[in-house]
Amino acid sequence: MPELPEVETIVADLRPHLVGRIIVRCELRSLPHPVVRYPQPQQFVDSIAGLRIDVIGRRGKFILIALDGGRMLVVHLGMSGQLRLIDAGAEIANHTHAIFDLDNGKQLRYRDPRRFGRLLLGTETELLDSGTFPRLGRRCSSTKRPSPASATSTLTNPFIARVFALTAPRAA
């Protein structure tokens, strides 16, 4: 299973390439057993097309991609998942379950040989009410403030801001 530093590295590597991009089209290749857990696969494909990527970050091992319209794409890599930015003409590797075509001609591809990962798409209410996105506990106490370059400083969506929020240390 990708560990926390690996998830952070994936997010940091993808951030400069994804923020501001528009998802033109999505193709799910793992039917009839899709990695999409919410909403239904066809609704997922229809809903994500045309949305702009505002922010990419992580909370725990969840990769959180904030989209316009108050929606969020949640990616959990499971045991063997990969999220890679690839040229559209590149050969599609085995076990590639989702392909997101971007407006710059690149593709964001989700690959997971063991299928333990998952993709979710929705608003705060939809994701929490569906029971597919866990109610995450408080972050570890920290006295550090986020740097201006971090995703937390650019958040405008209230749900995303709450998910990424740093909590003040508890009084002893």
Q: Which residues are catalytic?
A: 2-3
Host H or E run for residue 72 = strand 72-76
Residue 106's nearest CA partner among 12, 13, 17, 29 is 17
Q: Report yes or no: 33 and 23 within 8 Å, Cβ to Cβ.
A: no
Sign of CA dihedral 80, 163, 16, 5: negative
Give the H or E element holding residue 110. strand 106-111
